[in-house]
Amino acid sequence: MLIRMEQEHIDHGLRGECSSCPVALVLTDYRFTDVAVSGDGFTYGPKQDFVALPEVVNDWINEFDWHGTGSPISFEIDAVPA
């Protein structure tokens, strides 16, 4: 599934917040529920299924968390909303 993060996700995302970071916000917009983003992936849904994120997204998260900066990105994940 292709995920496209927009500037609004970045503007409203919170640094260091696993359920309110830009990645969590964009995943929620794609109808993933109960999202929690970690360093290497995210969990979602009632069963808290784990999905690995591409390395480029992990790098993006680190940059955002440490410096509060980031540009919109697109990435593929191997999951569909529950």
pLDDT digits 0-9 by tens, 3-60: 999 999 999 999 999 999 999 999 999 999 999 999 899 999 999 999 999 999 999 9
3-state helix, strand, coil in the chain (%, to 5): 35, 20, 50
Rounded to whole angstroms, the Cα distance separating 13 from 69 reads 11
CA distances to 34, 37, 82 from 47, rounded to whole Å, are 10, 15, 9
Amino acid letter at 24?
A
82 pLDDT exceeds 80?
Answer: no
Helix axes 55-67, 22-29, angle to 10 degrees: 130
Answer whether 0.85 is exceeded by the pTM: yes
